[in-house]
Structures are given as structure tokens and as C-alpha cells.
Amino acid sequence: MAVDTWKRAKSTLQISHDYSIRPAGLRWRSNTYFILATVAIGLFTDLFLYGLIVPILPYMLEDRVSIPESQIQSTVSGLLAAYAGASVLFSPIAGILADKTSTRQAPFLLGLAALLLATLLLYLGDSVAVLALARILQGISAAVVWTIGLALCLETVGPKNLGKTIGSIFSFISVGNLVSPLLGGVLYKKTGYPGVFGIGFAILAIDFIMRLLVIEKKVARRYDAEDPSAVGDLDTTPSHHTDGQDEENDSDEEQPLLGKEIDEFKLSENQSALARKIPILPLLKDPRLVTAFLVAFIQAVLLGSFDATIPTIAQELFAFDSLKAGILFLPLGAFDLILGPLAGWAVDRYGTKPAAVVGYAYLTPVLILLRLPHAGGKDQMILYGALLALSGVGLAIIGAPSIVEAGAVVQKYYEENPDFFGEEGPYAQLYGLNSMVFSAGLTIGPELAGELKQRIGYGNMNLVLAAICLLTSVLCFVYIGGKPKMLKRR
């Protein structure tokens, strides 16, 4: 009875059970580009509001809460940790809950509700407890939005087009991550809290309208729309070839070997009760999937290290203030924005292995070269900016492989074990774990970079990160996209 009540409640958010009456605007509301735009705006809003608030947290603690100056840094760190911790802990929960629902819209809207409440609490809060609760709600919202958003992308475009889709979306949302700290600082200086939170609430309103209007492909098909092209452009045909690497390997192998590869994705029928409730768990034994998660973690560590060290290095080497230091993020983000879609297309076309191996191998010498800039004038500023631009190229290349690879592996297991995973598959659980791993990387990255920079210096810190990238490139060569032929046992 409770389950039926829950299903009826969800249906009121999006569809009527009378599929003979099509909702207004079904064609454009279920259009691929509108669905992807909704996901992109949702992820953009999450990152934008996160970055918008961070620069003014110290002032909020000083002005509203009257925290002593000596405690502000530790309190800010605690509030940042509250966000990251909530995101890490709630991401797998969000994935499990999402896979139990028939549509993605209900949890997508609930995630936005948590973000709206968090923003209100940040705007009105006058105690550390209230601000901490707001940051926890922000972390929960991030977990839901990223988990549901990535699962909805896969359901909308299919595995064959996931690379360029993720690359394009990540390029777009990187703008929010790039400009929001600068914008937050400028708005606070010029207009105070009303200006900062005013633009936040405006973006939330746009996000809410789009999430409310969107109609998923699988829901739109139930209405048997007059124009099939409006709802029928999702490739859901099962295929054992989900990336270019697998296609290349399979075409050159004998049929018996193909049978062995299929058997590798066949799960035993003797699964535990926990595994049947959380079907993503048995898949964590697969080295390809584990490596994909590792690649996502290292990607997040690199992003966090850049966020943590660029402002301090700009101040130490060039005596930049916060505004000028923020400008140094432009070359890093600009190349990521421009090259992200192209790198995603390459993943779809040539497979995940080339992009992952080349991307991390490319970042190795670039990070080593970041040892070169030193205190000086214009020439050193240009050198540092150029190296950050080269780093942006590498970040664009490594943006899509981990997500696409993880989706490809789970797709193979889903095709070979449809009864075990059910109709929806474990995709929301997959992206919940991916969100958890990525959030953990964003949490550890700044701490690791800051500690290394303080103990061994900025140049040696980048040397350590370069070594990590080289090791990651080797692991990608061995596992991502399947083992290369030279390592396969004959």
C-alpha cells in the first residue's frame, strides 16, 4: 500500500497515468537537447552556488556569527568538509534510491529542493550550526544532482554518444566553477549579501522550471507521440560494443575468445541478499570498473590541487590580489571549455583507452614544467599562465574516459544479466559511486596539495602529482578499455 502511494505521488510530478492525453509541449520537453540542457543547468547550478558562496564564507562568519579572527580559517575548513562529507556519504544512497524509482524527475526535484533550502539557510543563518546544516544540505543536493544527472544522460543519448555528451556538459559547467568565485567576491564587494544571493536564487528559479518541465524519453514513449522523432532518438539497442577499444579488440579475436569475454561478464546466480538489494556491489570486483573509479578520483584530486594552489602561488610569486589571482584560472578553464567536446568525441570514436592513457601521460611533463615559474615580472606571469593553459588541455582530455568506461563496463554486465539487474539497471547506483569517488578526490586534493606545498615546496608538489599521473596512465593502458592484446593470455 505504501509503495502504491509513493508511485502515485511521483506520478503527479511528471505524468498522468492516462497516456491517451499527451501533455502540452511533449515534443520539445522530451527532446534530447532539452533534457541534456536541463542536466547541464542542474550541474551548473550546483557548482555555481558552491563557488559563489565560498569566497564570502569568512565574511559571513566575521560579520554575522562574530567568530574570532583566529578561528575563521578552521571554521571555514570545517564548513567545506561538511559539504564534501555529506556529498561522499549520500552519493551511493542517492544511487540506490534513484534505481528504485520509475523516473528520474522526482529525485531530481528533491535534490533541487535541498539546494534551495541550503541557500535560504546560508542567506539567513546567523550561527555556525545553521551554516553547517546549510552546507550539509548543499552536499546532499550535489550527490543527488550528479547521480541522477549522469544516469539521465546515459538514458537519453545511449552509451555510443556518452563521451561527447559528457565532454560538452563538463565544458559548460566548468564555466560556473570558473567564474563563480570571482563573481561572488565582486558582488559581495559591490552589493553585499543581497547581490550574491539574488543571482543565486535567479539561477535556482531557472533550474527549477527546467526540471519541472522535462519529460524523460522512456516516459514520453508511453504517450505514443505523433512525431516519433521527438521522442525516439535514443539508441537503446543492446550492444556488446560500447566503446571503440572493445570494437577493435572484438573484431580481431576468434569466436571462442569472444565467448570467453562474454562469460567474464556473467554473474554467478549465488549472490548474497545484500548484492541483490544493491546489484552494483558484485561489479566492484572488475578491475576495469575499479580503474575507472580511480581515474575519476585522480581527476578530482588534480582539480582540487589547482583550486588550492593557484591563488597562493599568484600571491607569493607575483603579489596578486584575489581578483588578479582569479584571472589565472581563465587559461586553465578556457582550454577545458573549448576542447572538452572534442575530447569527448574522440572517446566515442576511438575508445576510452587512448584518451585516458594520452591524457595522463601528457599531464606528466606539463606538471613537471610547473616547477619553472619563479618570482618575477611579466615574463614569469606569461610562463605560468601558458603552463596553466597546457594543463587545461590535459584536464579536457581526461574529462570523459572514466565516466564512459564505467558506463561501458556496467552495460556489458547488464546485457549478460538482465534478470539480476531488473528493467532500470544499476546506472544510478554506478553514478552515485562515481559521485562519491569524485567528491572524495575534490576533498583530498586541496588537503594533499596544501600539505605537500608546505612541506616540500610547490615544484616538488607538482613532481609528486606528475608521478601520480604517470602511474595512472600505466594503469589506464593495462585496464581501461580492456587489457591490450600483448597482455592477454593466449
Residue 331 lies in a domain: yes
Q: How far apart are CA 208 and CA 31, in angstroms?
A: 18
State pLDDT tens for residues 387-429.
999 998 898 888 888 888 888 888 888 888 877 777 667 777 8
**Same domain (yes/no): 187, 260:** no
Residues 337 and 292 in one domain: yes
Q: List CB contacts of 228: < 8 A, sequence separation 6 or more.
A: none
With beta carbons less than 8 A apart as the criterion, state whether 216 and 86 touch: no
Dihedral sign from CA coordinates of 29, 31, 33, 35: positive
Q: 93 and 148: one domain?
A: yes
Instruction: Using alpha carbons, select from 275, 290, 288, 293 the residue that is nearest to residue 91.
Output: 293
Give domain status of residue 442, yes or no: yes
- The CA distance from 407 to 2, in Å, is 32
Which domain-ending residue is among 219, 237, 255? 237
Instruction: Please indicate, yes or no, if residue 207 is contained in any of the structural domains.
Output: yes
Helix, strand, coil % (nearest 5) of the chain?
80, 0, 20
Whether the per-residue pLDDT at 452 is higher than 80: the answer is yes
Same domain, residue pair 206 and 338: no
What's the distance, CA 66 to chain centroid?
35
Same domain, 356 and 379: yes
For residue 227, count other CB atoms closer than 10 A to its CB. 9
- C-alpha 228/C-alpha 18 separation (Å) is 19
Pick 471 or 178 by higher pLDDT.
Answer: 471
- Among the residues of 398-426, which ranges form H helices? 401-416, 418-421
Can you give the pLDDT at residue 209?
Answer: 92
Distances (CA, A) of 25 to 15, 30, 106, 152: 13, 8, 19, 20
The residue among 167, 144, 45, 149 whose CA lies nearest residue 97 is 144
104 and 210, same structural domain? yes
Kindly tell me if the per-residue pLDDT of 241 is higher than 80: no
Residue 343 has pLDDT above 90, yes or no: no
* Helices and strands of the chain, counted as H and E runs: 23, 0
Reported as a pLDDT band with limits 50, 70 and 90, residue 329 is: confident
Residue 193 and residue 151: Cα distance in Å, rounded? Answer: 35
Domain assignment present for 6: no
Cα distance between residue 91 and residue 143, in whole Å: 5
**Secondary structure string (H, E, C) spanning 340-375:** HHHHHHHHHHHCHHHHHHHHHHHHHHHHHHCCCCCC
pLDDT, tens digit (0-9, with 9 covering 90-100), for 289-311: 999 999 989 988 898 788 778 87
DSSP 54: G
Are residue 83 and residue 63 in the same domain, yes or no? yes
From CA 373, how far away is CA 367, in angstroms rounded? 12
Cα 461 to Cα 362, 367, 392: the distances in Å are 17, 9, 18
Residue from 434, 436, 428, 414 nearest 98 by CA? 428
SS3 320: coil
Residue 361 lies in a domain: yes
* DSSP letter, residue 222: G
C-alpha grid cell for residue 225? 507521440
CB atoms inside a 10 Å sphere around CB 205: 11
The pLDDT-based confidence of 9 (bands split at 50, 70, 90) is: very low
Boundaries of domain holding 398? 239-264+277-490
- pLDDT recorded at residue 11: 46
76 and 199 within one domain = yes
Top pLDDT among 485 and 214 is at 214
CATH number at residue 206: 1.20.1250.20
Exposed/middle/buried for residue 466 (C-beta within 10 Å: 0-12, 13-18, 19+): buried
pLDDT of residue 14: 44
According to the model, what pLDDT value does residue 262 have? 55
Question: 460 lies in a domain?
Answer: yes
Number of domains, the chain = 2
Q: Which three cell numbers stand for residue 105?
A: 524527475
Q: Are 121 and 68 in contact (CB under 8 A)?
A: no
Domain match, 215 and 287 both: no
What confidence tens digit (pLDDT) does each residue in 122-144 have? 888 888 889 889 989 988 998 88
194 and 245 inside one domain: no
Q: Do 289 and 283 form a contact (C-beta atoms < 8 A)?
A: yes
SS3 165: helix
* Domain identity same for 216 and 260: no
On whether residue 12 sits in a domain, the answer given is no
Query: Residue 412's closest CA among 437, 430, 388?
Result: 430
Query: What is this structure's pTM?
Result: 0.74
Which residue in 408, 380, 399 sits closest to 335, CA to CA? 399
My answer on whether 201 and 284 are in the same domain is no
Task: Write down the residue that cell numbers 558582488 correspond to.
Answer: 187
- Given a contact cutoff of 8 angstroms between Cβ atoms, the answer to whether 391 and 337 are in contact is no
Q: For position 201, what pLDDT does the model report?
A: 92
Among 237, 253, 288, the domain-final residue is: 237
Task: Please state, as a whole number, how many other Cβ atoms lie within 10 Å of the Cβ of residue 209.
Answer: 12
Decide if 295 contacts 400 (C-beta within 8 A). no
Contact call for residues 187 and 175 (beta carbons, < 8 A): no
In a domain, 480, yes or no: yes
454-482 tens-digit pLDDT: 888 888 999 999 999 999 999 999 998 88
What is each CA distance from 283 to 403, 421, 474, in whole angstroms? Answer: 15, 11, 22
pLDDT recorded at residue 326: 67
